[in-house]
Structure 1
Amino acid sequence: MIWFRILLVSMFAALLYYTIVTIGISQNGVNLFPDFFGDMAAMEWPGQFNFDFMLMLMLSALWTAWRNNFSVSGLLLAVIAFFGGASFLSMYLLYLTFSEKRNVKAMLVGRTRL
């Protein structure tokens, strides 16, 4: 489990660094939506990647809501999962490794489904 935790922290740190650099050098700053959806509207490979990524974000959000039994907090976490991407998921999974005391089944399905 320690290696998984190291991976999650490393992923979060690398993504945070990349995001900060990108915001700093990008002409759009934090306004990524025109580029993101513009690439999809162009129907070329960058758009295909963005569409694929958006579907993965939807799956992450759906899993987060389901794991939390579609509760109010689960739905709020799902919105954060959709817009937060890997930065949210890496920190959420890290949190779960501690809160579920390294029980992978509880991490994946939640305590109510054990």
Structure 2
Amino acid sequence: MTLFRIFLVTIIAVIGVYTGIVVANHGVGLYPIFFGDIADMTWNGQFNLDFLGFLIMSGVWVAWRHAFSVGGIILGFAAFNLGAPFLAAYLLIESIRNKGDSAAILLGKARAENRR
């Protein structure tokens, strides 16, 4: 679990620094570029569409993990919009809260306890 947590912190740090540099150089106009590339039907667009699928799965999983409660939907929306840094921070926090219990991290504490 320690290596996994180091991996998560590394993702947060690397993408955070990279994003800071991109924002400083190009501003915050991500969405028009992201969806514009998809509309252009290029390899950049193909990658963005594939990544969009991962973002959707991430958001739905986080919301599902919280039984689609209001808080879960808000967290799912955050996962969808904030990407890997959010998901890495979320998993890091949940790994600490659940003391490394992978079933509880993936399913949520209540679902994990019901499996036993």
Task: Please classify the TM superposition score into its range, dividing by the shorter chain length.
Answer: over 0.9
2:107 paired residue number? 109
1:38 paired residue number? 36
1:60 paired residue number? 58
For residues 71 and 32 of structure 2, the distance between their equivalents in structure 1, rounded to whole angstroms, comes to 30
The aligned runs of 1:1-114 (5 Å cut-off) are 1-26=1-26, 29-114=27-112
Q: CA deviation at 1:18?
A: 0.2
Size of the aligned set, in residue pairs, is 112
For residues 96 and 103 of structure 2, the distance between their equivalents in structure 1, rounded to whole angstroms, comes to 13
Q: Which digits, 9 at most, give the CA deviation of each residue in 1:67-96, with x for residues without a partner?
A: 111111000000000001001000000001
What is the TM-score when the length of structure 2 is the normalising length?
0.94
For residues 63 and 37 of structure 1, the distance between their equivalents in structure 2, rounded to whole angstroms, comes to 23
User: Unmatched 5+ residue regions in structure 2?
Assistant: none
For residues 36 and 83 of structure 2, the distance between their equivalents in structure 1, rounded to whole angstroms, comes to 19
Runs (4+) of structure 1 moved beyond 3 Å?
Answer: none
